[in-house]
Structure 1
Amino acid sequence: MTPRTLYRRIALAEVVTWSLLLIGMVLKYVTKTTDVAVSVFGLAHGVVFIAFCLVTVVLWVNQRWSLRTGILGLLSAVPPLLTVWWEHRLERRGLLEGGWRLAPGGDTPRNPAERVVAALTARPAVAASVLVVAVVALTAVALLVGPPVGSQG
Structure 2
Amino acid sequence: MAATAAGRTEFPLTIQEMAQRSGFSEPTLRYYEKVGLLGVVPRDDSSGHRRYDTRLAERVDALACLRSSGMSVADMRRYLTLLAEGDREAAAAQRDLFARHAERLSAEIERLRVRQAYMRGKADMWDARHRGDAAAETRAIEQVERALQDF
Greater C-alpha radius of gyration: 2
Higher relative contact order (CA 8 A, sep 6+): 1
Given the two structures, how large is their TM-score scaled by the length of structure 1? 0.31
Given the two structures, how large is their TM-score scaled by the length of structure 2? 0.31
